[in-house]
A and B are shown apart, each in its own frame.
Chain A
Amino acid sequence: MEKKKKRLVFRTIVLSVLVLTLIFVLVVNANQDRPKLEEGDPAPNFKLDRLDQEGETIELADLEGQGVMINFWATYCEPCKEEMPYMDQLYEEYNDQGIEIIAVSVDKNEIVINNFYNSLDLSFPSVHDKNETVMEAYEVIPLPTSYFINPDGTIERVVQGPLTLERLEEYFLEILPQ
């Protein structure tokens, strides 16, 4: 009987090791497709030169305490351009209440960014991610992509694709400082 017990123990160990390995592999595999940045994670810090105010820079870490919308866009992206007026409209209202917008353009040449920015007479900070390092850090694939950052610096929401005025306002309220 001793022998049979030993055999059962051996089989149980071997099977558990195999099952655990399988579960481990499946979990690792499932996590591979998922973006590394998710809601709740701290937003990676970055610092870029402002195009709208010469000589000024903007750094995310300095904006702690404010709700921040980071909008990745480009001039060759039509839906990106369509949501800009909404952002500008709400910016006037919510900037005083502690909401900041950073429009990060991934264009190559600054002329096109400034031309568009000036043509719509936009007022929120405009920056140029020339080397696409911020874009890579934020894992931006489709444009536009918007990150909504809580006052404590964590990501509240990630939106891929264009936003309507109503949804934009709703998301602003989520990250509004108390």
Chain B
Amino acid sequence: MSVKSVKCDCGHINHEGTVLCEACGKPIEGNQHIDGNDEKHVLEMRYEGSARRSKTYKRTFIDKTWAFFSSVKVGVWLIVITLVLSALGTIYPQEKFKNSPLPSSQFYVEEYGLTGKIFYQLGFHNMYDSWWYITLVALIGVSLIICSIDRYVPLRRALKNQKTKRHEIFVKRQRLVSEDNNLTEDDLNQLKTNLKSKRYKVYEDDGHIMAEKNRFSRWGAYVNHIGLIIILIAAIFRMFEVMHVEDYVWVREGETRVIPSTNQEYYVKNEEFIYEVYDPVQQEQFRMALEDVENPVPKNFQTNAIIYKAVGETITGQEPELEEVERGEVRLNQPVTFDGYSLYQAGTQVESEYDSMTFTVSLEDESLGEFTFDTDDAPPQFELESGTTVNVDGWFPELEFTESGPSSFSKFPRNPGMILSVENPETNNLERFFYLQEDIVPLSDENQLAVEVTEVDRRSASGLSVKKDYTLPLFGVGAAIFMIGVVQGLYWYHRRIWIHPKDGKYLIGVHTNKNWFGMKQELDKVTSGTNVGEFTDQQEMK
């Protein structure tokens, strides 16, 4: 046994730093400042006056670190700092959501001025993945664990070691007391019966009575902390691709694309994209609601998707052999799932691109044939039945005019331009045409041939977000345990009543860890039919 332990008058040996004797509750001299009992009449009962070790030993580096994190004050500060920083990080968009081709060093200052510059320079543009933010959250976790260990262990010991027979001072310095009660044997029996009917456990020792109920409520906070720690562990698991994947892929109608973050194992084909709006004519019930609405109101965004799995070894770049694994309709909040992955409808470009354009070539109102230009796979040359040859001299998927002539700034045929040269055996001339915005412009006045656009076929692009998350059940377990802890600590109260005989009269002290109003009401019922006097609420008014 440590030299530093303190022996109480009742004979119980307490740990160094104990405020109230674990057994009889008598305040231990010299330690009353720890819980502030020296300045108040009512004893601080939060941790039963047990010795929180961190408040006593501060010798080695380990002990000092432990003591630092064991402080609730430190924990609260860590939470406040993290909270303030987290809020600050939302002022401007985070780097990955800035949606601009500008590098971050220019984006923030140009978009938001001086404050944006400060935001960037402080590193807030990439806050939630930064090492210092993660460290802060981790320190909260450390504080949570150490605070819990440091309070749970001595509290549990103190509650286990408590004796029915308490020291007079302990009882007298409870918040609710009733002194100098003259109680007969009948009164005491009535009290015990009343207490038992209120589900108290009643202990007796040498004429002293202690009634206690709902001690488990005191563990609520620690159960709650276990829940939080599980949530933090789940957050760590989320960092691994095995457990959690989040990505995005655009698939155009008719296109088959590799699903990112699946190691090129899965492919998705967009069979058809369906966009529907609410129709006031067909559906009478929407007529009133749609009367003042200018733009159509979307009803459905849907991708009819087929999921394939690549079988066998394929050298990257070669067409893999695909095997269908799943087929389904992806709608908002209705993903298609396969092998742990889910594809969610997350973006649309409705009919934003041209899939194909069909042209006819004619000479003096006589058709020389037609051809279809497939924007992705079209050959550079078309041979028509009449012997006419059409050459694609230039193809500009997203047309713009620069100093060096027509050019394209993307590969997506959203606003295509095309230069065609047509050779016909009869005219024996190379005639050139320009296709622009679904129309044909001859590039020379002497063109005898006529090219016309007869049909255009548009396609939609569907944005699908790819998700895999095996950590959700763990988050669920953490959250459930958290909630159980909250309920345990909030809806039950740990209540104790000590009946202390003294010179033929009885002193009664009452403690509850919360809800004193309810305690007073319960006391009325417990003392009904007995000679117990009024209870005084000794809480000092500040």
Q: Taking beta carbons and an 8 Å cutoff, which residues of A are in contact with B?
A: 1, 3-4, 7-8, 11-12, 14-15, 18, 21-22, 25-26, 28-30, 32-33, 44-48, 59, 74-76, 106-112, 114-115, 127, 129, 131-134, 136-137
Q: Do the beta carbons of B378 and A3 come within 8 Å of each other?
A: no
Question: Given contacts A15-B62, A25-B239, A136-B258, could you give 13 more A-B pairs where the C-beta distance is less than 8 Å?
Answer: A4-B2, A8-B63, A12-B62, A26-B131, A26-B135, A32-B129, A47-B318, A76-B398, A76-B410, A76-B411, A131-B257, A131-B319, A132-B257
Query: B510 near A: Cβ within 8 Å?
Result: no
Q: Which of B1, B57, B380 contacts A111 (CB 8 A)?
A: B380
Query: B149 near A: Cβ within 8 Å?
Result: yes
Q: Do the beta carbons of A112 and B395 come within 8 Å of each other?
A: yes
Q: Do the beta carbons of B317 and A133 come within 8 Å of each other?
A: yes
Q: Which of A1, A7, A30 contacts B131 (CB 8 A)?
A: A30
| 124-182 of chain B: CB within 8 A of chain A | 129, 131, 134-135, 138, 141-142, 145-146, 149
Size of the B side of the interface (Cβ < 8 Å), in residues, is 51
User: Which chain A positions have C-beta within 8 A of B378?
Assistant: 109, 111
Q: Taking beta carbons and an 8 Å cutoff, which residues of B are in contact with A?
A: 1-2, 53, 57, 60, 62-63, 65-66, 129, 131, 134-135, 138, 141-142, 145-146, 149, 236, 239-240, 256-258, 260, 264, 315-319, 375-380, 392-395, 397-398, 407-413
Q: Do the beta carbons of B316 and A21 come within 8 Å of each other?
A: no
Q: Which of A1, A18, A76, A115 contacts B409 (CB 8 A)?
A: A76
User: Which chain B positions have C-beta within 8 A of A8?
Assistant: 60, 62-63
Q: Distance (Å) between the CB of A136 and the closest chain B CB?
A: 6
Bound CA–CA A75/B398 (angstroms): 12
Could you pull out 10 A-B pairs where Cβ atoms are within 8 angstroms?
A3-B2, A8-B62, A33-B129, A45-B316, A109-B376, A109-B397, A110-B380, A112-B395, A132-B257, A136-B258
Q: Do the beta carbons of A44 and B394 come within 8 Å of each other?
A: no
Q: Do the beta carbons of B395 and A109 come within 8 Å of each other?
A: yes
Bound CA–CA A112/B141 (angstroms): 57
Q: Which of B149, B239, B256 has the most CB of A within 10 A?
A: B239
Q: Which of A109, A131, A134 has the most CB of B within 10 A?
A: A109
Q: Which of A26, A59, A108 contacts B375 (CB 8 A)?
A: A108
Whether A111 contacts B395 in the complex (CB less than 8 A), given A32-B239, A45-B316, A48-B317, comes out as yes
**Chain A interface, >50% SS class:** helix
User: Which chain A positions have C-beta within 8 A of B134?
Assistant: 25-26, 29
Q: Do the beta carbons of A15 and B2 come within 8 Å of each other?
A: no
Bound CA–CA A88/B141 (angstroms): 58
User: Which chain B positions have C-beta within 8 A of A132?
Assistant: 257-258
User: Which chain B positions have C-beta within 8 A of A112?
Assistant: 395, 397, 408
Q: Which of A11, A21, A110 contacts B236 (CB 8 A)?
A: A21
User: Which chain A positions have C-beta within 8 A of B53?
Assistant: 7
Q: Which of B240, B316, B395 contacts A46 (CB 8 A)?
A: B316
Q: Which of B129, B240, B264, B379 contacts A136 (CB 8 A)?
A: B264
Q: Which of B149, B239, B240, B316 contacts A133 (CB 8 A)?
A: B316
Q: Which of A30, A74, A112, A127 has the most CB of B within 10 A?
A: A112
Q: Distance (Å) between the CB of B215 and the closest chain A CB?
A: 25
Q: Distance (Å) between the CB of A29 and the closest chain B CB?
A: 6
User: Which chain A positions have C-beta within 8 A of B57?
Assistant: 4, 7
User: Which chain A positions have C-beta within 8 A of B409?
Assistant: 76
